[in-house]
Chains A and B, each alone.
Chain A
Amino acid sequence: MSGPGGPAEPGTGTGTGRAVGRRARPWLPRPGTRRLLVIQSTVLMLLTAVATALLHDSYREVHSRPPEIRDRIAPAMLDVAGTRAALMNAHLGVRLSLDSEEGDVAGSGEEYWAQIAAATQNLSRVADLQLAGEEGEQQLSTVNAQLLAYIQAITQAVAHKGPLGRAHYLSAHTLLYREGSGILHRLATLQEQQQEELEARTTFSGFAGPQRDPWRSPPVAALVALAGCLLAVQWQLSRRFPQRLNPGLLVASALVAASWYALPTAEQTRDDLAGARALLLDVVSEQQKPVEDLDAAGRAAAPMSDEQRTELFDRLDRVQKKMTTTREEVETTMHDTDTRSRAVAAIPAGGGVAAVLILAGLQRHLVQYRIRQ
């Protein structure tokens, strides 16, 4: 294995002129080459382990979030928003029906019942996906009870018409819109809890967090240190041993270089998560907007004008369309991260391979040195 020059005389500090020159340099390790090889091997292994662990932790953390957002948080948020929109739509329909004096709303009013069905189905899914803990479950329970009371009041409103029907209609209206205790307000409280959960699941801190100075993030620092050490060892070995390059270290270095790919990829996923968060928050904010106008219009004694009715339905329609597109966009964006998330398993595998290559590369010299000793 060794060339004609062979390694410098280990431990003695004497040997070829190259070795003499090395001794003359104070930064070169004092111990012998064998000890140097052991230290290099230990340091490289440690750095490889640390860099792999940090990179894996950060990458796994970032890529564990998209499925949560896609399968749990986004549907729950959109379902609560959907419940609110459906109830507002149903109530507006009832109001218009009562205005028009046609209204068999609670009997055969297909649109009304369809909206109520949509609301209850959404609530059912929200219960499945509950994000807001026990408090949220209680809110949902109360919403269900109030929804029952609401439907009863609407049924009475339609049955009686006239001033008595209006009394029942207004009872239903406050059950839905009352600040603090109405159904919509309770759902808004639930949405606030969901938004907190969304915020928590789409922002990162620690190793997984985006850093102001990426070079100072722990995974980047560890990778830089590992790459630097690999280069240094490669250079030292080329000075002490005849081979210009150690193939094991060379491939390990290539692996480290390849692992850089994980950094922008994780950043891309973080961006996607931030984008999904923005879309979801936008939907929540958008469907809050018409609440005040719908409340005022619903309470007003005068029948709604055609323009007012068209405008309110248009706004609700826009909200519902926005919910549909957001659901699709979030789902697609989060699906796109699936490919990237496969690298989660590749990182420890790559780290393992790099460790083996480093060990093998240095062992080659250690063995050679031992034979000569």
Chain B
Amino acid sequence: MRAAAHRARARAGVRFRIRAVLTGLLLLGLSGTAACAPDFPAEGDQLTVIGPWTGVEEKAFREQVLDVFEEEHGITVHYEGTTAIHELILSSTLAGDPPDIAIQSGLGELADYHRRGLLQELPPGIVDEANQRAAWLSQPSGMPSRYWVPVKADLKSIVWHRGDAPPDRADVSEWCIGMLSDATSGWPGSDWIEDILLQQAGPQVYEDWASRELAWDDEENEAVATAWRTWLDFMHGGDGGAGKYAEEALTTDARDRLLFDDKAACALEHQGSFARTFYPDRWFGLDFTPSAGLLPANPPRGDYHVVSGDFAVMLRESDEAELLLEFLASEEIQRLRAATFEATSEEDGDEAGLLPPSFSADRRVTDELYTRNDDPVGARIVRELDGADALCLDASDVMPPVIRRVFHEAALESLAWPWPPPAETPGPGPEQQDPLPAKLADIQRVQDELPGDTPRFDSVCG
């Protein structure tokens, strides 16, 4: 009876919410998302998990991790992967029918969910903090308890290329750059700007900016403007000139296997360590070089890396959900994921086969594991993590959701600007002016209008 009632309630909920989609969008824009929340079952020995991983990453997560959990604990896990995860989490939690667990890279978004009271507190010791690299333990200031656990880590500030020959510094025509990624388009652009900023200005300035200490349009320290300008100069260069490559980047999907795309005809790709999943059938043939020596910036000031992570939160409290979180963060599973994985099914075409391993915030997942698994490139990634002078969490990931979105939007928008802007003259209209200061001031204005209790990450580098 209870199950039937739940199902009936769930269906009525879905119907209501779907109907609300149109009205909400017509009348309220994004705020309509709350009205069209989906629903999730949470009965008996079943868990619902939503996360950002689709395609190969989803396949590996299901078969390498969730299947093991189901077998060990007899709990069925339904996983849904989508790039529209923010919309999905927000709408379902606001409707009071959230999934049990959500996995997301945006710590700023998770902190925002915590501010809204949507997250469940996790028991102490759910993650072995002594063995985690510091960057992945970042918390907003004033948050005494733990509300998320790192389940996956990635190294950024690296450049991928075919084979093992280290590339030379090259102009934009040699680079594979795509800005598109469904609901999160623009993030590759923000990654570029963050990396340039880190390499140009160093971890302290980067951390000040990420933690909202340094204004976007700060007049004394123009690190953000300088980094952004450096990127735009680079993107609008190349032998095609006149924004040809910038425009191409605007219409290219970041996940389109650009390094092996004959049409793209490029040799360098600025992506995180997760990029190997973009090449499910050819990732063995990829190698990387730290970006510091290749970026259009001043000579590197140190061995700094932007890093990112995927963090799991509990939205619906249950012993089963806690068990899964503990399982995901455990050393055993983190080590398991360091192995290449042979997908069993071929139903998804080229997504089957030998899938690349993933990386961990846990120091016990050592480079030896990758070497042992015949993955020297993976081992080097771990050595970069261990040997870096500073690892800084992706700044846009720790920014409040609205700032993150505006940043992504602005990165896209700036690629469409005529660049370099003509010299300012008193007479002409706005098209003749440098649009960057105004854009940075706009972002700063949005940031200044954030509510006073908006979470802030004081420390993102470690």
Residues of chain B in range 76-103 having any CB-CB distance to chain A below 8 Å: 78, 80-85, 87-88, 91-92
A contact residues around B143 at 8 Å (CB)? none
The residue from A120, A127, A135, A148 contacting B11, defined by CB atoms under 8 A apart: A127
Are B183 and A127 interface neighbours, CB within 8 A?
no
Residues of chain A in range 173-189 having any CB-CB distance to chain B below 8 Å: 174-175, 178, 180-181
Whole-angstrom distance between the alpha carbons of A144 and B87 in the complex? 9
A contact residues around B83 at 8 Å (CB)? 149, 175, 181
Are A145 and B14 interface neighbours, CB within 8 A?
no
Q: Does A130 contact B (CB under 8 A)?
A: yes
| Nearest Cβ on chain A to B88's Cβ, whole angstroms | 4
Are A128 and B22 interface neighbours, CB within 8 A?
no
Q: Does A238 contact B (CB under 8 A)?
A: no
Are B413 and A166 interface neighbours, CB within 8 A?
no
Whole-angstrom distance between the alpha carbons of A170 and B78 in the complex? 30
User: Chain A: which residue is nearest B412 at the CB level?
Assistant: A167
Are A180 and B348 interface neighbours, CB within 8 A?
yes
The residue from B11, B54, B179 contacting A167, defined by CB atoms under 8 A apart: B179
The residue from B29, B55, B82 contacting A142, defined by CB atoms under 8 A apart: B82
Are A301 and B413 interface neighbours, CB within 8 A?
no
A contact residues around B403 at 8 Å (CB)? none
| Nearest Cβ on chain B to A205's Cβ, whole angstroms | 27
Q: Does A164 contact B (CB under 8 A)?
A: yes
A contact residues around B50 at 8 Å (CB)? 142
Are B14 and A137 interface neighbours, CB within 8 A?
yes
The residue from A142, A156, A160, A163 contacting B84, defined by CB atoms under 8 A apart: A142
Are B92 and A175 interface neighbours, CB within 8 A?
no
A contact residues around B25 at 8 Å (CB)? 148, 151
The residue from B21, B40, B46 contacting A144, defined by CB atoms under 8 A apart: B21
Q: Does B402 contact A (CB under 8 A)?
A: no
* B120-128, B245-253, B450-458 - interface stretch: B245-253
The residue from A142, A160, A171 contacting B88, defined by CB atoms under 8 A apart: A142
CB contact under 8 A between A144 and B38, given known A120-B22, A127-B11, A163-B415? yes
Tier of interface size on chain A: 35 or more
Q: Does A42 contact B (CB under 8 A)?
A: no
Q: Does A147 contact B (CB under 8 A)?
A: yes
Are A149 and B250 interface neighbours, CB within 8 A?
no
Whole-angstrom distance between the alpha carbons of A180 and B40 in the complex? 21
Residues of chain A in range 111-141 having any CB-CB distance to chain B below 8 Å: 113, 116-117, 120-121, 123-125, 127-128, 130, 134-135, 137-141
Are B18 and A163 interface neighbours, CB within 8 A?
no
Are B180 and A117 interface neighbours, CB within 8 A?
no
The residue from A144, A167, A178, A181 contacting B185, defined by CB atoms under 8 A apart: A167
Q: Does B15 contact A (CB under 8 A)?
A: yes
Are A144 and B17 interface neighbours, CB within 8 A?
yes
Q: Does B48 contact A (CB under 8 A)?
A: yes
Are B38 and A164 interface neighbours, CB within 8 A?
no
CB contact under 8 A between A148 and B33, given known A134-B78, A138-B40? yes
A contact residues around B92 at 8 Å (CB)? 141
Tier of interface size on chain B: 35 or more
Q: Does B32 contact A (CB under 8 A)?
A: yes
Contact with A along B251-278 (1 / 0, CB 8 A): 1010000000000000000000000000
Are B55 and A163 interface neighbours, CB within 8 A?
no
A contact residues around B14 at 8 Å (CB)? 124, 127, 130, 137, 140-141
| Nearest Cβ on chain A to B267's Cβ, whole angstroms | 23
Q: Does B36 contact A (CB under 8 A)?
A: yes
Are A181 and B81 interface neighbours, CB within 8 A?
yes
Whole-angstrom distance between the alpha carbons of A151 and B26 in the complex? 10
Are B19 and A149 interface neighbours, CB within 8 A?
no
User: Chain A: which residue is nearest B250 at the CB level?
Assistant: A167
CB contact under 8 A between A116 and B22, given known A142-B82, A164-B250? yes
| Nearest Cβ on chain A to B16's Cβ, whole angstroms | 8
| Nearest Cβ on chain A to B10's Cβ, whole angstroms | 6
B contact residues around A160 at 8 Å (CB)? 413, 416
Whole-angstrom distance between the alpha carbons of A141 and B102 in the complex? 14
B contact residues around A149 at 8 Å (CB)? 83-84, 87, 182-183
Are A168 and B40 interface neighbours, CB within 8 A?
no
Whole-angstrom distance between the alpha carbons of A140 and B26 in the complex? 21
Q: Does A146 contact B (CB under 8 A)?
A: yes
B contact residues around A228 at 8 Å (CB)? none
Whole-angstrom distance between the alpha carbons of A8 and B351 in the complex? 85
CB contact under 8 A between A301 and B253, given known A141-B14, A141-B92, A181-B81? no
Whole-angstrom distance between the alpha carbons of A167 and B15 in the complex? 32
Q: Does A153 contact B (CB under 8 A)?
A: yes
Tell me which of A124, A139, A140, A146 has the highest count of chain B C-beta atoms within 10 A of its own C-beta.
A124
Are B39 and A167 interface neighbours, CB within 8 A?
no
| Nearest Cβ on chain A to B56's Cβ, whole angstroms | 9
Whole-angstrom distance between the alpha carbons of A94 and B81 in the complex? 27
User: Chain B: which residue is nearest A117 at the CB level?
Assistant: B22
| Nearest Cβ on chain A to B419's Cβ, whole angstroms | 12
Q: Does A16 contact B (CB under 8 A)?
A: no
Q: Does B30 contact A (CB under 8 A)?
A: yes
| Nearest Cβ on chain B to A186's Cβ, whole angstroms | 9
A contact residues around B348 at 8 Å (CB)? 180
A contact residues around B40 at 8 Å (CB)? 137-138, 141
A contact residues around B376 at 8 Å (CB)? none
User: Chain A: which residue is nearest B76 at the CB level?
Assistant: A134
Q: Does B41 contact A (CB under 8 A)?
A: yes
User: Chain A: which residue is nearest B249 at the CB level?
Assistant: A167
User: Chain B: which residue is nearest A186 at the CB level?
Assistant: B82
Interface of B with A (CB < 8 Å)?
10-11, 14-15, 17-19, 21-22, 25-26, 29-30, 32-33, 36, 38-41, 46, 48, 50, 54-55, 78, 80-85, 87-88, 91-92, 179-183, 185, 243, 246-247, 250-251, 253, 348, 351, 409, 412-413, 415-416
Interface of A with B (CB < 8 Å)?
113, 116-117, 120-121, 123-125, 127-128, 130, 134-135, 137-142, 144-149, 151-153, 156, 160, 162-164, 166-168, 170-171, 174-175, 178, 180-181, 301
Pick 17 A–B contacts, CB within 8 A, sort by A: A121-B22, A123-B21, A127-B14, A127-B15, A142-B80, A144-B21, A146-B84, A156-B409, A160-B413, A163-B246, A167-B251, A167-B412, A167-B415, A168-B412, A170-B253, A181-B54, A181-B182
8 cross-chain pairs, A with B, having the tightest CB-CB distances, nearest first: A141-B38, A127-B14, A149-B183, A145-B88, A164-B416, A124-B18, A181-B54, A145-B87
**What 13 additional pairs, Cβ within 8 angstroms, besides A174-B253, A181-B182?**
A123-B18, A128-B15, A137-B41, A144-B21, A144-B36, A146-B182, A148-B21, A149-B84, A151-B25, A167-B416, A171-B181, A171-B183, A171-B185
